[in-house]
A = this chain, B = another copy of it.
Amino acid sequence: MNIFVDAMGGDNAPREIVKGAVDAVLEYNIALTLVGQEEVVRKELSQYTYPTESIRVLNADEVIGFDEEPVRAIRRKENSSLVVALDAMKGSPDSVLISAGSTGALLAGGLLKLGRIKGIKRPALASAIPKENGVTLLIDMGANADCKADYLEQFALLGHVYYQSVLGKENPKIGLINIGAEEEKGSMMVKEAYQLLKHSGLNFIGNVEPRDIPTTEADILVCDGFTGNVVLKLLEGLSSYLMSGIKTAIMGSVKGKLGGALIKDDLRSFKKQFDADEQGGAPFLGVKGGIIKAHGSSNAYAIKNAIRQSIKYIENGVLEKTTAAIKEHAERGE
């Protein structure tokens, strides 16, 4: 099992990334590799007590910033933490790289350095949206702004394998995000995707309207990457807007302040359900290797959870299962 953690990526790098890695080796009793400027990483590590053989440091002098053009950055910065890690992973099916750095660079790096699984048209980014009793996996949440219907069918298959393997539910229910419940609703692309999904052999439950996303019974929601990104970011933005709006409204009156103090605990446990840090990161599915995009603002806890997710990813053989499923699906279609 080879878990690589990009020590230099993210708003809280390297401090929180390194701390998350230490917490993970202690809690899960595993070994992993931190990739980044060795001196900086070792200095962070020196603060903690842990079995030293369980954390290896792979030196990478360069860092890719959030504002760099992804493909150019991957090509030019051969000594960046991202490129060094991807080169080390190559050809090893039991590897995962976790990074909280630039999404664009991570996706471009995965595609250029690891390549696509045979038969995959477009790899996709999947994000687990927390809901009352579990999570909904949203795929694609932003890797492909322009999509064709057959990409969406593959996203469903990628999500199916991942959900079964990592989230542990047999035959997960698949919904298609659409602006109407009926089969004939939506854009031309989505209508075509509906027909493909209907005959895909997957557990397709039909269209899911946006208003029902927070409560849907679907385990997996399929859409193009533009729509997926709109959904995910709007969920984040509106939740935080409403929560802070409610707080401000309450704090404006004495009665409200008193009430606010009384409901604080209940509200906190309600909010905890939707804590993105609990979910680990967003897997980039369809490339020849495990890639997990952690949120840019990840703290040590989020990184530790992304490492737990990586362990499941490797132990359950997501890569091999995906390769087999794509092959089988292609043969069935012939």
* Other-chain contact of A270, B212, B246, B258, B263 (Cβ < 8 Å): B246
A93 contacts chain B at the CB level, 8 A cutoff: no
For chain A, residues 225 to 271, give those with C-beta under 8 angstroms from any C-beta of chain B.
225-227, 229-239, 241-243, 245-246, 249-250, 252-253, 255-256, 258-263, 265-267, 269-270
Select one of B145, B241, B260 contacting A259, CB under 8 A.
B260
Please give, as numbers and ranges, the residues of chain B lying within 8 Å of A232 by CB-CB distance.
210
Shortest distance in angstroms between A127's beta carbon and chain B's nearest beta carbon?
Answer: 13
From A236, which residue of chain B is reached at the shortest CB distance?
B211
Residue of B nearest to A230 (CB): B210
Q: How many chain copies does the complex carry?
A: 2
Chain A interface residue number, banded: 35 or more
A266 to B262, CA, bound (A): 15
Whether A177 is near chain B, meaning CB under 8 Å from some CB there, is yes
A214 to B211, CA, bound (A): 16
A205 within 8 A of B: no
- Most chain B C-beta atoms within 10 Å of own C-beta, residue among A142, A212, A226: A226
Candidates B226, B236, B238, B249; contact of A269 at CB < 8 Å = B249
**Are A230 and B263 within 8 A (Cβ)?**
no
Q: Which of the candidate stretches A116-124, A157-165, A183-191 sits at the interface with the other chain?
A: A183-191
Q: A29 on the interface (CB 8 Å rule)?
A: no
Q: List 19 A-B contacts (CB under 8 A).
A: A179-B225, A179-B229, A187-B226, A190-B226, A209-B237, A210-B231, A210-B234, A211-B236, A227-B227, A231-B234, A234-B238, A249-B266, A249-B267, A250-B266, A253-B266, A255-B262, A259-B262, A259-B263, A263-B263
Q: A: which residues have CB within 8 A of B?
A: 142, 145-146, 177, 179, 185-188, 190, 209-215, 225-227, 229-239, 241-243, 245-246, 249-250, 252-253, 255-256, 258-263, 265-267, 269-270
User: 4 closest A-B pairs (Cβ-Cβ)?
Assistant: A259-B262, A211-B237, A259-B263, A249-B270
